[in-house]
Structure 1
């Protein structure tokens, strides 16, 4: 237990408290020592014996329990990570204002490690100016406050405020701990207070009601960029095209299908973004005409040629017409030959600040869990990224973006 990363799992009093059991299981099974610190109201939803049995550690809510061990100080001081899931509006307000009336809020005040909040509440509570200000305050201090998911809430209500899925919260926690380990204990929220936009997936251009022109992009690299940006403290807008993957925790997700729809979403989100990373594979062309009925095969006849027209060049457009002068624009170039030469030419033509160049093919990059690339910079820099997890490439991109932000 001494060598295991020490995680404090705070649980506040919301109906989503039961989902924290799954997060606890993932943390313990992946080799973390977890101490659960629920609020008194959280125990109305999930009892102390459950938390104690799943974590293997004692559970208490009051600073008066085991006073000789000074738990209200020691628990936070010894933690490598504190994650609160669910974090109610009340808990966020107390954390933002430094209130400490139970063991969890005392732990938050004494913690000198990264802190992750996974909010869950009704939409009206999340959108209230008081909550928005409290979230902004916590983010300014370096805490990672995830964006809630959109979906079914308590009762018949639906909207933004749902607790992100436990496996997605776990991925954020895992990455925050990894970053902290690499930084030898230093805070790693270098994107705190920043808004970044990431596109992911591949656009599809309809031919008829059943067919489309598309590409092989899975969206995994874009999702890795979104997840790592969330873990580094950014507010993330993810614009995804046809990935079929669950929304990553903490990101505002916009779903699109075609290049024209992607352009509209990117331009809207980029208007207030500090950085835009265009990882999506955007179709260069689309059919000039859409057949309202299925194009039929005719016996003895060759099919009619399909006329194509150019799609908008989104990367060049947002590079030329930036929302502000210090906005950082990152593009991706998937090449099959003369990779670096074609990449340098594309970087010059597009006018972006950084261009991630990788070689693609039948069994390379698309759909894989790993990637290999070279990141070219407009100032002439080149940063090779060796073959490895797409998360590693994502972190390298943000390492290069962060110092370029105004």
Structure 2
């Protein structure tokens, strides 16, 4: 599975760095090409000479050396994946907040390949809210985290915080490359974010959708090897690199963008929060405050999911979302049938940690065959993986 894969191993300052000699040896035996980047602190725990001998490549730790410099941009472009193991508390904080003061963080910030990290620290440090918040931040960036293990720690205590064993990390990398092949050659359409329906040149009717869930889904599809087209409503979140992004404002613009490309898609996931109604009249000038009451007449927008359900071909998979506040299950099941969808993903504003603007979500997926798949509250990046896994099984 790792034959001819290019692994860029980043090592930060942690006692767990001693395990990287075994990890490099396992990667080389599996057929991978390995290059190593270390922080200055990491050299106190494992010898660059040892890692250079095992990897058969020069180990880099400085941005410049005498008259030469280490091309951090090309290192990040060379690799199929960047693995940071161990990831110390200090390096985690730098990754989360864009601090670039050594070669490892410079490579990370300029890397175009996927990044996987294996944290290592003492239990009290691991459980600190600042550390857990930083972990959430880097996962929102699309990085994958290999869970820590429970066991004896450098402090002499026993608890969570041990870096995963080299054999476990090797297995996670094998899974990563297996997953990236699952949807190779598939074309996927994802919608994300809100729509804004203009009232006048300065005002609009909108909703609180941030686009986080849809962007996480698009990112997950891309990780699995799919070619992704993301139709994105107004959102402050940057779309991931490497996918086609169509920016839209209104429900009508989103309808046009989706219907233009749907015929070529294998999978379509409609996760955007599209306005159900739009003003009948949009004034050319700003509406001035005058009377105590002001009325706006609305008309229905075009139903994107329903339209795609009427034109989808054999073999195409169509997925919709149902954000509900009451009678959730019945409304979701009705939508599944009415829209001729293959899956409906239900989330309820009554569930803690679900809804607009949050970093987490809680979903239940209903499929056209009568299946029901329930999931606990998770980060939206993890929810996206659950959704893609369910689509693949379907």
**Smaller-chain TM-score range?**
0.5 to 0.7
Aligned with residue 374 of structure 2, among 367, 384, 401: 384
Which residue is equivalent to 1:312? 302
Which residue is equivalent to 2:144? 175
In the alignment of these two chains, the number of paired residues is 286
Matched residue SS, 1:188: helix
Matched residue SS, 2:333: helix
Matched residue SS, 2:216: helix
Greater Cα shift, 283-292 or 362-371: 362-371
Structure 1 unaligned segments of length 5 or more: list them: 1-6, 11-23, 38-47, 73-83, 93-103, 109-114, 118-162
Query: Does the 8 A contact of 2:201 with 2:285 survive in 1?
Result: yes
Cα distance in 1 for residues equivalent to 2:347 and 2:293: 37
Cα distance in 1 for residues equivalent to 2:229 and 2:41: 34
Matched residue SS, 1:386: coil
Which residue is equivalent to 2:7? 8
Displacement of 1:403 in angstroms is 3.1
Cα distance in 2 for residues equivalent to 1:251 and 1:268: 17
Cα distance in 2 for residues equivalent to 1:329 and 1:269: 13
Which residue is equivalent to 1:279? 271
Q: State how 1:251-262 maps to structure 2 within 5 Å.
A: 251-262=243-254
Aligned with residue 322 of structure 2, among 333, 336, 339: 333
Aligned with residue 361 of structure 2, among 360, 371, 380: 371
Matched residue SS, 1:320: helix
Change (3 A) 1:378 1:177: same
Q: State how 1:141-220 maps to structure 2 within 5 Å.
A: 166=111, 169-170=114-115, 174-175=143-144, 185-186=174-175, 187-189=178-180, 190-220=182-212
Change (3 A) 1:221 1:357: same
Asked whether 1:342 is paired with 2:331, we answer yes
| Offset from partner CA, 1:44-94 (integer Å, 9 cap, x none) | xxxx9986648747889xxxx966x4727xxxxxxxxxxx98569xx99xx
Cα distance in 2 for residues equivalent to 1:86 and 1:219: 29
Cα distance in 1 for residues equivalent to 2:199 and 2:347: 29
Query: Does the 8 A contact of 1:165 with 1:249 survive in 2?
Result: no
Query: Does the 8 A contact of 1:205 with 1:214 survive in 2?
Result: yes
Greater Cα shift, 350-359 or 383-392: 383-392
Query: Does the 8 A contact of 1:52 with 1:59 survive in 2?
Result: no
| Offset from partner CA, 1:136-159 (integer Å, 9 cap, x none) | xxxxxxxxxxxxxxxxxxxxxxxx
Cα distance in 2 for residues equivalent to 1:313 and 1:264: 11
Query: Does the 8 A contact of 1:227 with 1:249 survive in 2?
Result: no
Q: State how 1:115-126 maps to structure 2 within 5 Å.
A: 115-116=80-81
Displacement of 1:177 in angstroms is 6.1
Which residue is equivalent to 2:215? 223
Which residue is equivalent to 1:78? none
Displacement of 1:242 in angstroms is 0.9
For the aligned residue pairs, the C-alpha RMSD in angstroms reads 4.0
Query: Does the 8 A contact of 1:287 with 1:306 survive in 2?
Result: yes
Cα distance in 1 for residues equivalent to 2:309 and 2:348: 23
Which residue is equivalent to 1:296? 288
Greater Cα shift, 349-358 or 247-256: 247-256
TM-score by length of 2: 0.62
Asked whether 1:395 is paired with 2:394, we answer no
Change (3 A) 1:59 1:327: farther
Query: Does the 8 A contact of 2:13 with 2:42 survive in 1?
Result: no
Which residue is equivalent to 1:95? none
